[in-house]
Structure formats: structure tokens, C-alpha cells
């Protein structure tokens, strides 16, 4: 009797595995035109442009509406149940042996939100939660430098449905993966600094990984020079 029960259990398990493979095949057939798409989330500097000194205040705002367009000009309607986390890491740009690199800068600045809240989470650096106002997610925060130097900030946003759905838009299109990208105007990125340092990408000095942290072609960074 015990042997028969084990046989039935093994047969049942095999059926589940085979069904999963068949479902996966059908899913792949449905998604032969799988699309990786992304959309911009604005981040603008509203005060603190020009020459910065220690203890000056640099102000930023970020906003994301419900109805937007992707970089491919695809209309997107975001869900009302989304929560947004803004997270960023500051780096000091250093020079050694004629080459520029990055060092993590955790104590050179103070940060505080004026719209939104500080939040903990799995991301490196500082994190703020957006505030839901009407159909939009909005955030405003200040940066106060405490030390001199050239710094670069790498900024990101993470959207999640508080009801744990895999989709952040109302289409429920399983064949499209949407990615949010913090998009800073080119003039506010201070992209001209790339030419002054003769680099097109920067890496962490003596880091445990060998890939660029930030590239000139990215949209989600900005330089701050504190004199």
C-alpha cells in the first residue's frame, strides 16, 4: 500500500512538472514579441544651480503622473495603487595616476525631503518615498553639501503595486516589461564635466565589481561641484 502511494505521488508530481513546461511553452509562444520598454520620471533642480559652497542648499523636485508615454511613444496608464521609492548614491570623483574614479560619499552631504518621507529599504544610499497627490506621485528634497570637491549622484526610482501585482500599468500586458528611469535635463546633469575630465564613464576605485557606475550617455545622474 505504501509503495502504491509513493508511486501515485511521484506520478502526480511528474504531471505538475510537465504541465509547467507546457504552460511555459504556451507563454513563450504568446510572447514571441516580448517588449522591454521604459519611461521617464522627471527630476529637476529648482535651486542651487551655479557655483556651490559648503552648506548651500540644492533643491530638487520629481513627479510622475498617471498618464504618460514611454520612450517608444507608447501610451501608458499607471495603476492608482502604486508606491514610489526614490533612491540615490553620491560619489566623490577622485583622480589617481591620471585616471578618474569614484569613491562612495556617505558623509559629505545632508539630505532631507520637503515633500515625501525618509524610508528604509533594500537599496544602497539614501531613500525617500514619494507622496501620492491626486493622480500623481510627487517628491521634493534638499541636498546640503558639507565638503568641497567634485561629486556625482546616481538616481533611481522603484515602483511597486501595494497589492503585489507584477504589473505597474493597467494594461496587464504580460509580454511587456516596463522600467522606470529617472530623467534629468542634460543641462542640469552638467554633462560638460565629462569633457573637462576626459572620460565617458566612471567606476568605483578598487571596487568589487568592474562595470561603470555611471556613463555619459545615462540620463539619471548629475554632477555637483562644491568650491
pLDDT tens-digit series, residues 135-149: 999 999 999 999 999
Among 3-7, 60-64, 74-78, 170-174, which stretch is predicted with the lowest mean pLDDT? 3-7
Which pLDDT band, with edges at 50, 70 and 90, does 213 fall under?
very high
* Lookup: cell for 106: 556617505
Q: State residue 58's pLDDT score.
A: 93
pLDDT at 132 over 90: yes
Specify the pLDDT at position 25: 40
| For range 124-143, the mean pLDDT | 92
Q: How confident is the model at residue 49 (pLDDT cuts 50, 70, 90)?
A: low
Between 214 and 18, whose confidence is greater? Answer: 214
Rounded CA separation 130/94 (Å) = 32
Q: Is pLDDT larger for residue 41 or for residue 98?
A: 41
- The more confidently predicted of residues 58 and 19 is 58
Specify the pTM. Answer: 0.81
pLDDT at 34: 65
Reported as half-sphere exposure (CB side, CA atoms, 13 A), residue 18 has a value of 6
The reported pLDDT for the residue numbered 168 is 84
User: Do the Cβ atoms of 103 and 204 come closer than 8 Å?
Assistant: yes
Q: What number is the average pLDDT over the span 61-89?
A: 92
| Nearest partner of 151 among 219, 92, 214, 226, judged by Cα | 92
Sign of CA dihedral 205, 92, 107, 186: negative
Averaged pLDDT score across all residues of the chain: 83
Amino acid at each position: 500500500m505504501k509503495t502504491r502511494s509513493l508511486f501515485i505521488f511521484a506520478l502526480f508530481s511528474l504531471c505538475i512538472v510537465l504541465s509547467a513546461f507546457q504552460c511555459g511553452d504556451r507563454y513563450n509562444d504568446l510572447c514571441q514579441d516580448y517588449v522591454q520598454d521604459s519611461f521617464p520620471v522627471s527630476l529637476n533642480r529648482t535651486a542651487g544651480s551655479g557655483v556651490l559652497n559648503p552648506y548651500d542648499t540644492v533643491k530638487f523636485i520629481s513627479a510622475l503622473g498617471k498618464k504618460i508615454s514611454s520612450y517608444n511613444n507608447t501610451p501608458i496608464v499607471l495603476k492608482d495603487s502604486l508606491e514610489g521609492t526614490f533612491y540615490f548614491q553620491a560619489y566623490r570623483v577622485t583622480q589617481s595616476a591620471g585616471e578618474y574614479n569614484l569613491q562612495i560619499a556617505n558623509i559629505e552631504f545632508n539630505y532631507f525631503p520637503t515633500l515625501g518621507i525618509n524610508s528604509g529599504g533594500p537599496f544602497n544610499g539614501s531613500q525617500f518615498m514619494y507622496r501620492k497627490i491626486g493622480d500623481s506621485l510627487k517628491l521634493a528634497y534638499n541636498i546640503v553639501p558639507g565638503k568641497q570637491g567634485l561629486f556625482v549622484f546616481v538616481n533611481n526610482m522603484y515602483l511597486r503595486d501595494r497589492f503585489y501585482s507584477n504589473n505597474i500599468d493597467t494594461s496587464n500586458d504580460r509580454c511587456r516589461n516596463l522600467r522606470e528611469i529617472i530623467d534629468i535635463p542634460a543641462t542640469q546633469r552638467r554633462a560638460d564635466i565629462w569633457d573637462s575630465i576626459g572620460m565617458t564613464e566612471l567606476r568605483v576605485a578598487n571596487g568589487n565589481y568592474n562595470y561603470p557606475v555611471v556613463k555619459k550617455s545615462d540620463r539619471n545622474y548629475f554632477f555637483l561641484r562644491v568650491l
